[in-house]
Structure 1
Amino acid sequence: MVSELKMMDSVLLSYCVVAFGFIGFQFLFSVISPRISSTCCFTYSQLTSARQCEWDSRCVSTIHALIVGSFCLYILAFDDAVNDDPIWGDPFKVKMNVAVTSGYLVYDLLFFARYWKEMRDPYMVCHHLAVLYAYGYVLNRGVLPYFANFRLISELSTPFVNLRWFLDVVGMPRSSKPVLLNGLAMALVFFIVRIAVIPSYYSQVFATFGTEGYIRLGIGPQVAWIVSCVILDVLNVFWMYKIARGLYRVVKVKPRKA
């Protein structure tokens, strides 16, 4: 009975964090980013309303990625309970991080719904829905904390993706050194945190098959876990291809002769 009450309190706290996360990210989008951006960057005030919305959205995305990605690394390095038992280890820290991300995903889905004509991105919507589907089990049952945390490390590539967009919007030439350096960093970090880890991740997934902890999960979490992983990795490979192709085009452009 006591354990059930603790679980209920943990779930309630998780969804409170989801709600506060959603409100916080919406406040950043609606109030903080427009004020700071219009003060610090002349280009912002010259943008169309749709472009300003995307600018603010990417500012929020970058802040979310830095917060969540940094906490992921901390958990991976210092949370022995999660690392020792990847399926049923003490999920508290991971649940709080997942709750923050879930609040962000809800905010971002509503953003896409509101500005669908301007920001049409069905791949990102599929990504968000797949993540929310899987993270629902983490929030409600506290299962798979290690694997949930491992997935969130991929957010560390987001700031470089957003910086590429910002540099393009402010008119930085694509052949300039800042753009090229960021492009290289973006491709490298994206590959490390989203592609290179795939073999290691799935080897750990397969290692749990048939174990007592895996059987305790039940069919629902098992399906949510595997299906969401496959969807996310298909999208990651697709995005990696686009990043590599774009970087190749920029690097191979020959300077025009005078």
Structure 2
Amino acid sequence: MDDWTHLSYAVVVVSFVIFQLLFSFMSHLISDSVFQGYKKLTIEKQTEWNSRFVSTIHALIVGFFCLYILWFDDVVNSDLVWGDPRLVKLNVAVTSGYLIYDLLLLIRYWKLMGDAFFICHHLAALYAYSYVLSRGVLPYFANFRLISELSTPFVNQRWFFDAVCFPRSSRPVLCNGVAMTVVFFLVRIAVIPTYYARVFSTFGTEAFEKLGTGPQVAWIVSSLSLEVLNIIWMYKIFRGCYKALVRAKKIQDSNHLK
């Protein structure tokens, strides 16, 4: 096991601890001092608020690190299967620590935040990422999947607006809803053809055969599982955005008639 692999596992542990501390202490302190509506929330709402606060921080860190690697790490982008995985390992390690923290959180607060889709998503991702951390395989594809995190802040912001009772027909809520729908589509759905075109381009190559059955199955099964979940979520988000825009239009037309 090389030094970078040891470092990656250490980052997983540190990531888990930091996200747990953010949930247990920092989110409450920051939210209580910055957002007036936070104090008025029930304990249950504050718990989910803290969870989404941590989720947003993770998404911003990992999402922008992912873009940096895609734009500037030429070795990873030139060798999709066996490129130098060091930076990708660090990014995946941060995400793995977060996923473990979030899994335990979902189990602990199952009645409040439990979601079978999220459990499936986290387990599929951890299964695939374990090969990245242990063997450094498929760095380009592992990093590419993390683009999807860029949609998370908008999803969480929608919940924050609801939690503090912002009217769903208000401009900030509608703008965030449209942005959430567009960004979710771009980073989770529109990228599907590009992703699978590059997946298929590796089939039958020496690099692909060198992976072995385990990583091949983990890669393909986890990818397809995540795609199913993304399509389900995209349908729900699009339907919600459409209903919100129609409702806002009816309210606007009603106000004009008065």
* Fold match by TM threshold 0.5: yes
TM-score bracket, normalised by the shorter chain, equals over 0.9
Answer with 102-111 or 45-54: which moved more. Answer: 45-54
Match of residue 33 from structure 1? 27
Give the CA deviation at 1:196. Answer: 0.3
Write the letter of the residue equivalent to 1:69. G
Task: From 237, 244, 247, give the equivalent of 1:243.
Answer: 237
Please give the secondary structure, in 2, of the residue aligned with 1:173: coil
Give the CA deviation at 1:171. Answer: 1.1
Task: From 190, 199, 206, give the equivalent of 1:205.
Answer: 199
Matched, 1:64 2:58: yes
Is there any run of 5+ residues in structure 1 with no aligned partner, and where?
Answer: 1-6
Write the letter of the residue equivalent to 2:7. L
Distance in 2 of aligned mates of 1:173 and 1:76? 38
Please give the secondary structure, in 1, of the residue aligned with 2:149: helix
Matched, 1:132 2:121: no
Match of residue 226 from structure 1? 220
Number of residue-to-residue matches in the alignment? 252
Is there any run of 5+ residues in structure 2 with no aligned partner, and where?
Answer: none
Distance in 1 of aligned mates of 2:116 and 2:43? 22
Match of residue 252 from structure 1? 246
Distance in 2 of aligned mates of 1:251 and 1:189? 17
Please give the secondary structure, in 2, of the residue aligned with 1:235: helix
Task: From 87, 109, 118, give the equivalent of 1:93.
Answer: 87
Give the CA deviation at 1:10. Answer: 2.2
Distance in 2 of aligned mates of 1:110 and 1:9? 28
Task: Please provide the CA RMSD for this pair.
Answer: 0.9
- If the length of structure 1 is used for normalisation, what is the TM-score? 0.96
Matched, 1:78 2:72: yes
Give the CA deviation at 1:9. Answer: 2.3
- Percent identity among equivalent residues? 65
Distance in 1 of aligned mates of 2:2 and 2:126? 20
Paired residues for 1:160-175 under 5 Å: 160-175=154-169
Write the letter of the residue equivalent to 2:218. A
Matched, 1:117 2:107: no
Give the CA deviation at 1:24. Answer: 0.4
Distance in 2 of aligned mates of 1:201 and 1:123? 22
Match of residue 185 from structure 1? 179
